Amino acid sequence: MIPELGQFSLILALLIAIVQSTLPITGLVRKNSIWINSAKYLALLQFFLVLIAFMALMRSYIVSDFTVTNVVNNSHSNKPLLYKIVGTWGNHEGSILLWVLILVAFGGALSLFGSNIPTTLRARVLSVQGWICVGFISFMLFTSNPFERTFPPPLNGNDLNPLLQDIGLAIHPPLLYVGYVGFSIVFSFAIAALLEGEVSSAWARWVRPWILISWTSLSAGIALGAWWAYYELGWGGWWFWDPVENVSFMPWLVGTALLHSAIVTEKRGAFKAWTVLLAILTFSLSLLGTFIVRSGLLTSVHSFAVDPERGIYILILLALSIGGSLLLFAYRAPSLEGGGLFSPISRESGLLLNNLFLTTSAAIVLFGTLYPLFLEGITGEKISVGPPFFNISFTPIGLMLGSTMAIGPYLKWKKADIAGILSRIKFLIFVSLGVSLFVWYLKTSGPVFAIVGVGVSFWLFTATLFEWMDRVKLINKDYSDIFKRIRSQPRSANGMTIAHLGMSFIILGVVCSSAWKEEVIGFVEKGSQLEVASFLVTFGGVSLYQGPNYNSEKATVKVEKDGKFLENLYPERRSYLATGTSTTESAIRQSLAGDLYVTISEPANNKFKGKWVLRLIYEPLVNFIWLGASFLALGGIISITDKRYKVGRTFKYRRTKPANKVVRLDNF
């Protein structure tokens, strides 16, 4: 009964979506204010309907209702409750339902918190959002229905892939989807603006909180995915430039460019067409990602169930949304007015440079990912484009971006005194060079990118911090008002500082853990010892224990350094009963200086039966990556709470500062 209720809700939601796509826009033409205002309520209604459907599916998982095909394929009665719940989205159909839920949630959020936005613009945005909903809900109902029934129901299900039975992987999809799907609202804003024929500074201000929410969530989602891969997969790596990883990285790169370009549109009314284009492209890249992951077009370790038929359906959705929006862009964008003037060295040009680096990177990732497909189509040759290509092409741009973004916050609008800035902070440049040389001296085997990278990271960190200190006049030694000055800083400025500091950590973590990783492998039995990076590791043997749906062989490993006992680690090999597959559970000794990463496995060669393979990896400074990512997310969250966006707190704001431009009603 409940699955049918879910199914019915989805059908209703589709019907409402169809109305939402058409009624408000028609209302704008016919100047019918009831129809225009209906957008808000339709969006909220859609949200509730899809929520009911989602709850229905989740409930089927919790009670292990094996009459539902989706539950049979992906769950098992012995699975721990947590993984029954998160398993709702650990498969294709369920994850599409989650996607749609977030899509309608954003529509609902705009209805509730977007009252500072003119009704007409909001009606248009919600209508466009409605079109996207129609596309995805119909995709779900016609090709990926989560509520299909199995009769007669089997005694038990096939269990969830053991790799997915993990808390990190539970939160990763929702965070990622809030990112991907959040950009749908930004996309709708862009389309609505093009339809109106007008992109104002006010528009840029209204859209910004939605960009920030999506960007923050996407950053966190990607970082979480990388962190999960790091601790779960057993080889100490966290990024492989795999197609599925790349398609999440592209919207992030373009989204970051958008985040920065929109600042210029908001403050100076410039880069209008470019910002709108970035808004369209970010969501288009999210859609491209959804397509590539689920269609089987490219080979990837992360593939969902591959189905070219579904691929065709999504491709049609893409053709309509991306094709349609870019066509509208080509038609309307040329008539958007240009913005203010600025000198070649200014905050505007700095942000333009930032955009150059980010969009070039996105183009590199896109081209590299799709190149094997292109080549195969044209000549039939099959090649692989893997990490070497991406690392070689991306690293220089990443380092250039890191170096120049240190100066960005110092630049003033319209015209910046670059000579003055550099003379004030040139001592930081010398210190950073010194750091690089020192690292080169210490680690003569280090690759160039790493030595430069450490210097860039240091430069970015100190320059960003120094700019903040300068802004709160910390250096003036006038400490009387210091706390007042710190508190009165606009939140968006603080957000920027924190996020940029986060980037410096990420650069440091990435280059050091990649360049100076150490690995030791050995056959061990009780009492054997291995050494890595001045840690002495003693193997204490293996004991067996039984988990809820798996059997585990758990090793005890003693870690010592300089003769002092540090801790015991417990790496495991787990064998999941329902699927028969096994996973490695690594044991990690974490510290800011680096991680000691320990895994065990059984030898492949029968000659060594009875012994175990112990693998030790030392990853220096790797935790700076996750620390940096948290700073990025924190910076985003702080920026969202900036007073001038007032998402939600509307009346005070509207009375004191009216919108910059009047929205014209007669444009369609």
Partner 1 sequence: MRRFVFLTPLALSLIIGAFAVWGLLNDRNPSEIPSALINRSVPNFDLLPLPGLNSPGLSKKELLNLEKVSVVNFFASWCLPCRAEHQSFIKLSRNDDIELLGINYKDNDKDALDWLTELGNPYTYVGNDFSGRTGIDWGITGVPETFIVNKNGKVVHRFSGPLVGERFEEFKELLMLELK
Partner 2 sequence: MNHLKLFFITFFYLVPMGSSMAVEPDEVLTDSKLESRARDISTNVRCVVCQNEPIDTSNSGVARDLRILIRERLLAGDSNKEVFKYLVDRYGNFILFKPPLTLSTALLWFMPLLVFTLGVIILVGALKKASPLKRSKTFSVSNEKKLDVLENEKEKD
240 DSSP 8-state letter? -
The separation between CA 625 and the C-alpha centre of its own chain, rounded to angstroms, equals 14
| Of 80, 323, 324, 388, the one binding partner 2 by CB under 8 A | 388
Ramachandran area for residue 225 (φ above 0: left; ψ -120 to 50: alpha; else beta): alpha
Q: Which of partner 1, partner 2, none is residue 327 near (CB under 5 to 8 Å by kind)?
A: partner 1
- Tokens describing residue 585: 């559970």
| Of 599, 620, 629, 632, the one binding partner 2 by CB under 8 A | 599
- Tokens describing residue 141: 């109902």
Does 418 bind partner 2 (CB under 8 A)? Our answer is no
| Of 154, 197, 490, 658, the one binding partner 2 by CB under 8 A | 490
Of residues 209-238, which lie at the interface with partner 2 (CB under 8 A)?
Answer: 234-235, 237
Of residues 238-267, which lie at the interface with partner 2 (CB under 8 A)?
Answer: 240, 242-243, 267
Does 415 bind partner 2 (CB under 8 A)? Our answer is yes
Q: Report the b/e string of 1-24 with b at 16+ CB within 10 A.
A: ebbeebbebbebbbebbbbbbebb
Piece of 164-172, 180-188, 479-487, 515-523 that binds partner 2 (CB under 8 A): 515-523
Question: Cα separation of 367 and 391, whole Å?
Answer: 14
Q: Which of partner 2, partner 1, none is residue 584 near (CB under 5 to 8 Å by kind)?
A: partner 2
Q: Which of partner 1, partner 2, none is residue 34 near (CB under 5 to 8 Å by kind)?
A: none
Does 641 bind partner 2 (CB under 8 A)? Our answer is no
- C-beta of residue 227 within 8 angstroms of C-beta of residue 651: no
- CA dihedral sign, ordered 160, 164, 169, 172: negative
CB of 373 to partner 1, least distance (A): 5
Measured CA to CA in angstroms, residue 298 lies from 312, 376, 631 at distances of 14, 12, 33
Does 546 bind partner 2 (CB under 8 A)? Our answer is no
Does 383 bind partner 2 (CB under 8 A)? Our answer is yes
Does 446 bind partner 2 (CB under 8 A)? Our answer is no
Piece of 65-73, 128-136, 350-358, 536-544 that binds partner 2 (CB under 8 A): 350-358
Question: Cα separation of 357 and 20, whole Å?
Answer: 39
- Count CB neighbours of 606 within 10 A: 7
Q: Which of partner 1, partner 2, none is residue 25 near (CB under 5 to 8 Å by kind)?
A: none
Find the helix or strand (DSSP H, E) in which 554 lies: strand 550-561
3-class DSSP state for residue 526? coil
Q: Report the b/e string of 390-426 with b at 16+ CB within 10 A.
A: beebbbeebbebbbbbbbbbbbeeebbebeebeeebe
CB of 1 to partner 2, least distance (A): 32
The DSSP line for 371-401 is HHHHHHHHH-------HHHHHHHHHHHHHHH
CB of 278 to partner 1, least distance (A): 10
Q: Which of partner 1, partner 2, none is residue 334 near (CB under 5 to 8 Å by kind)?
A: partner 1
- CA dihedral sign, ordered 516, 250, 369, 171: positive
| Of 163, 297, 493, 665, the one binding partner 2 by CB under 8 A | 493
Question: Cα separation of 472 and 486, whole Å?
Answer: 6
- Residue that is written with structure tokens 């019907």 in the block: 15
Would you say 363 or 422 has its CB closer to partner 2? 363
Does 343 bind partner 2 (CB under 8 A)? Our answer is yes
Question: Cα separation of 515 and 548, whole Å?
Answer: 40
CB of 31 to partner 1, least distance (A): 31
Polymer length in residues for the chain: 668
- Footprint on this chain of partner 1 (rule: CB under 8 A): 273, 277, 280-281, 284, 288, 291, 295-299, 308, 311-312, 315, 318-319, 322-323, 326-327, 329-330, 333-334, 370, 373-374, 376-377, 380-382
Would you say 141 or 397 has its CB closer to partner 2? 397
| Of 26, 33, 299, 534, the one binding partner 2 by CB under 8 A | 299
- Tokens describing residue 256: 């970051």
Q: Which of partner 2, partner 1, none is residue 599 near (CB under 5 to 8 Å by kind)?
A: partner 2
CB of 530 to partner 2, least distance (A): 10
Burial of 378: CB neighbours in 10 Å, binned 0-12, 13-18, 19+: exposed
- Residue 623: name the closest of 653, 658, 584, 596 by CA: 596
CB of 334 to partner 1, least distance (A): 6
Piece of 33-41, 448-456, 595-603, 626-634 that binds partner 2 (CB under 8 A): 595-603
Q: Which of partner 1, partner 2, none is residue 284 near (CB under 5 to 8 Å by kind)?
A: partner 1
| Of 62, 356, 486, 577, the one binding partner 2 by CB under 8 A | 356
- At residue 572, what are phi and psi to the nearest 5 degrees? -135, 160
- At residue 241, what are phi and psi to the nearest 5 degrees? 55, 35
Would you say 52 or 375 has its CB closer to partner 1? 375
3-class DSSP state for residue 42? helix
Q: Which of partner 2, partner 1, none is residue 237 near (CB under 5 to 8 Å by kind)?
A: partner 2
Would you say 287 or 407 has its CB closer to partner 1? 287
- Count CB neighbours of 80 within 10 A: 12
Of residues 447-486, which lie at the interface with partner 2 (CB under 8 A)?
Answer: none
Q: Which of partner 1, partner 2, none is residue 291 near (CB under 5 to 8 Å by kind)?
A: partner 1
Measured CA to CA in angstroms, residue 176 lies from 45, 223, 498, 663 at distances of 24, 10, 21, 34
Would you say 531 or 602 has its CB closer to partner 2? 602
Residues that bind partner 2 (CB under 8 A): 234-235, 237, 240, 242-243, 267-268, 270, 299-301, 303, 338, 340-344, 348-349, 352-353, 356, 359-360, 363-364, 367-368, 371, 375, 379, 381-389, 393, 397, 412-415, 490, 492-493, 521-523, 573, 582, 584, 599, 601-605, 607-608, 613, 615
